[in-house]
Structure 1
């Protein structure tokens, strides 16, 4: 195993090198605790600050000041005494704070006294007819290509959905000379009224003027269609057109690329597999971990920071990372002097409720019907799921036996929320009552050869195969 951890045990292991993970790493390492930061990517930054040290897009105005604000935090983490390993996959975490990791084709187990999970967010599933066609991508995937390689569309392209990332990506593509033929905004009109009680807090937040400027920038160059209520992609073997309805007749436009986005949700798989308690969040319409004010979870020693704790944005993630780090320092070094970052977090979260209400996705874009694919890995449709409910499937775990949903390479990341809401509606129950997939290690695909080369002892076996 190349670049293997130098120790068998650390005071603190941080998982994820995005805003929360980098901030937490620098904070605990500066307190003199032995610290290990593990991340799947080739470099630091996570999705928000992806390729912060290597992006070919060097002009600050093209990606924006918010992106470049990550450079200092990434530098602080790299210059600390923390051990940092990139291209590392954490595929197991148990209640005893033992982690299974893979690096360079080999695997090992390490122990921690405290673990900070900072795995961030993932894009919410957007299951529309045709979303599995080649030529249909998520906005996040497109932004990864933009930041990592400076690639932008030069073909007929459509961006559809809602949320801050949709407008940010559109602005960045246009700044780099890319092509966008149309922006299809799926924000429900009723959401604007529902969000009004939270408008003042949002208008006094740092996000208001930035968001307004971005939207104006995009609208000055691209046709924006608001109030889209129906959306589908079509083509013979690859995307050829996009069809939509927005308070008028159905319209079809040619497209070689469709970028979809309707917000982000916490990446919960590792935390759920470890046994951390989660609850359905009725505002953000997703699963979020049950945490105290310091980010500590239901399992002693495991904290969750950043968007994995609930969507709050990059700046809030930084302060959540520092708060989780301070909690670890106080637990391991009670006499250490620490800083209270709660006021900074409160300021960073100002206006969040407005965004959560405004950009709550419409039901028809979360809960598909008919032959629309729900589980991409196993090609299971909405009708397949409902047919299974009709003959006795009571929840996502029972559905596995009927249709193998959630058992493919993504382990439910692209279908989990859809399955929960689809079954909840079919059975007349809440998502909390229906539940989520029962997740177990390994939570990420790993080679059988890696498992075969693990230490042969009872504890190692239980870490991989446990009830």
Structure 2
């Protein structure tokens, strides 16, 4: 045994899932490599500002400040002690046959692995609204990053729109920071939100905390709205045109809009390493298939929002479970997982409640006017997508090749879900029958020079 080389284990992502996975492996005597796009560990939810930043963790993370501090301190200690290797400010752009192609400051580096834990997290799930291609329109996550990382509100007059916990959270954070939030527009009506009351009761403290943040928004919050158009001039956004739950038309002047409908799992790397996918009807997106421990293929483990949209607490649990599965598969004693599996089941009930309360606006996506931009990268319109369906049939990648939708910088992260809804409406099929865009490298934009230096 002493002559056997230790397994090469790589963790992609240093958010709550990646940090807990790394700590579990380190406790078992292994030395993982952790690759993360951030300069410091924490992920999106516990993103850390630059050194010398004056806002406290309580101001940045609210009631989760203690959790954020604990995770930051744990990872920093393990890195300082040399018990793991932290590849910071590095992005995995490709994966093939046990090798990760990692873009860092010096170019592309190839890192081999025997086992890989993907803790890639999630990003905003956005739906096109006519006019969303104009300057001044951001995702909710972008607004949150600007606030956490630089203490910046992206405009003096802000409208937030979409649905889900992140909508309320970002609104409350901006209001607390003194930003000028003019309106928070939720497309989910009150009766829809109340349908999930029993499931949300699985985490009563979290549910009550959400209601408290909602109360902090006061009259800014409007449920059951219909989003009509983002007005803009040559300088960018000027107003949001919408209808309230009673059908009355409203126009709210603004110079910044943040939008998002809960989250979409970041799955491009899972695709490249060979994971299988299934369509989740409730979440209205394709998700990689994994068992409760996170096993998703030979030597591949998934953890966090990249496989199950359970939030930060669920990500920590999933990270421990994935690392325990990895240890068990290597024949190394692993910590007990029974308590974590019970907690995971409770979190999944809560998450399903969120999916019911704050649904993806499929009807809005399907009813987009022909001139509405769907893919902001390639300026592909709803009409162009419908025309491509008529010419080429109702398969996602065929429509992609004809219309160029999903071929830009984001590789369909922001437009794929709406595109599938448009195709499904045009063909009379269900979204799962339409399929999904194939993942391909590089999964992030990368400069040509980085690949040349690699050679």
Normalising to structure 2: TM-score of the pair? 0.92
Pair 193,132 (structure 1): closer, same or farther in 2 beyond 3 Å: same
Residue number in structure 1 paired with 2:28 = 31
CA deviation after TM superposition for structure 1 residue 325, in Å? 0.6
Q: Is the 8 A contact 1:56 1:147 kept in 2?
A: no
Q: Is the 8 A contact 1:375 1:415 kept in 2?
A: yes
Q: Is the 8 A contact 1:265 1:310 kept in 2?
A: no
Secondary structure of the residue that 2:204 maps to in structure 1?
coil
Q: Is the 8 A contact 1:44 1:53 kept in 2?
A: no
Secondary structure of the residue that 1:233 maps to in structure 2?
strand
CA deviation after TM superposition for structure 1 residue 52, in Å? 6.1
Pair 248,433 (structure 1): closer, same or farther in 2 beyond 3 Å: closer
Q: Is the 8 A contact 2:46 2:61 kept in 1?
A: no
Residue number in structure 2 paired with 1:443 = 443
Q: Is 1:268 aligned to residue 270 of structure 2?
A: no
User: Which deviates more from structure 2 when the two are superposed, residues 58-67 or residues 209-218?
Assistant: 58-67
The count of corresponding residues between Structure 1 and Structure 2 is 441
Residue number in structure 2 paired with 1:64 = 62
Pair 90,335 (structure 1): closer, same or farther in 2 beyond 3 Å: closer
Map residues 234-249 of structure 1 onto 2, 5 A cutoff. Answer: 234-237=231-234, 238-246=236-244, 247-249=246-248
Pair 245,293 (structure 1): closer, same or farther in 2 beyond 3 Å: same
Once residues 46 and 444 of structure 1 are traced to their aligned partners in structure 2, the CA distance between those partners, rounded to angstroms, is: 17
User: Which deviates more from structure 2 when the two are superposed, residues 43-52 or residues 119-128?
Assistant: 43-52
Once residues 198 and 349 of structure 2 are traced to their aligned partners in structure 1, the CA distance between those partners, rounded to angstroms, is: 13
Once residues 446 and 85 of structure 1 are traced to their aligned partners in structure 2, the CA distance between those partners, rounded to angstroms, is: 17
CA shift digits 1:7-26 (9 cap, x unpaired): x9962100011111111111
Map residues 54-453 of structure 1 onto 2, 5 A cutoff. Answer: 54=51, 56-58=54-56, 60-61=58-59, 63-80=61-78, 81-94=83-96, 96-152=97-153, 155-192=156-193, 194-196=195-197, 198-199=199-200, 201-202=201-202, 204-219=203-218, 222-237=219-234, 238-246=236-244, 247-297=246-296, 299-332=297-330, 334-340=331-337, 341-367=340-366, 368-453=368-453
CA shift digits 1:359-392 (9 cap, x unpaired): 1122234333321111111100111000110112
Once residues 131 and 255 of structure 1 are traced to their aligned partners in structure 2, the CA distance between those partners, rounded to angstroms, is: 13
Secondary structure of the residue that 2:294 maps to in structure 1?
coil
CA deviation after TM superposition for structure 1 residue 53, in Å? 7.2
Secondary structure of the residue that 2:209 maps to in structure 1?
helix
Residue number in structure 2 paired with 1:44 = 41
Q: Is the 8 A contact 2:372 2:381 kept in 1?
A: yes
Q: Is the 8 A contact 2:57 2:69 kept in 1?
A: no
Q: Is the 8 A contact 2:15 2:42 kept in 1?
A: yes
CA deviation after TM superposition for structure 1 residue 350, in Å? 4.6
Once residues 45 and 37 of structure 1 are traced to their aligned partners in structure 2, the CA distance between those partners, rounded to angstroms, is: 12
Once residues 193 and 401 of structure 2 are traced to their aligned partners in structure 1, the CA distance between those partners, rounded to angstroms, is: 41
Once residues 60 and 41 of structure 2 are traced to their aligned partners in structure 1, the CA distance between those partners, rounded to angstroms, is: 20
Pair 133,171 (structure 1): closer, same or farther in 2 beyond 3 Å: same
CA shift digits 1:132-168 (9 cap, x unpaired): 1111111110100110011125622211121111111
Residue number in structure 2 paired with 1:459 = none
CA deviation after TM superposition for structure 1 residue 419, in Å? 1.5
Once residues 278 and 236 of structure 1 are traced to their aligned partners in structure 2, the CA distance between those partners, rounded to angstroms, is: 42
Q: Is the 8 A contact 1:62 1:176 kept in 2?
A: no
CA deviation after TM superposition for structure 1 residue 67, in Å? 4.4
Q: Is the 8 A contact 1:232 1:243 kept in 2?
A: yes
Once residues 160 and 232 of structure 1 are traced to their aligned partners in structure 2, the CA distance between those partners, rounded to angstroms, is: 12
Q: Is the 8 A contact 1:56 1:149 kept in 2?
A: no
Once residues 414 and 225 of structure 2 are traced to their aligned partners in structure 1, the CA distance between those partners, rounded to angstroms, is: 23
Q: Is the 8 A contact 1:44 1:50 kept in 2?
A: yes
CA shift digits 1:22-54 (9 cap, x unpaired): 111111122111200001112211110111674
Q: Is 1:16 aligned to residue 13 of structure 2?
A: yes
Q: Is the 8 A contact 1:51 1:148 kept in 2?
A: yes
**CA RMSD between the two structures:** 2.0
Pair 236,337 (structure 1): closer, same or farther in 2 beyond 3 Å: closer
CA shift digits 1:321-350 (9 cap, x unpaired): 110011111122x24242312133234445
Secondary structure of the residue that 1:351 maps to in structure 2?
helix
CA shift digits 1:158-187 (9 cap, x unpaired): 111211111111111111111111221211
Structure 2 residues not aligned, in runs of 5+: none
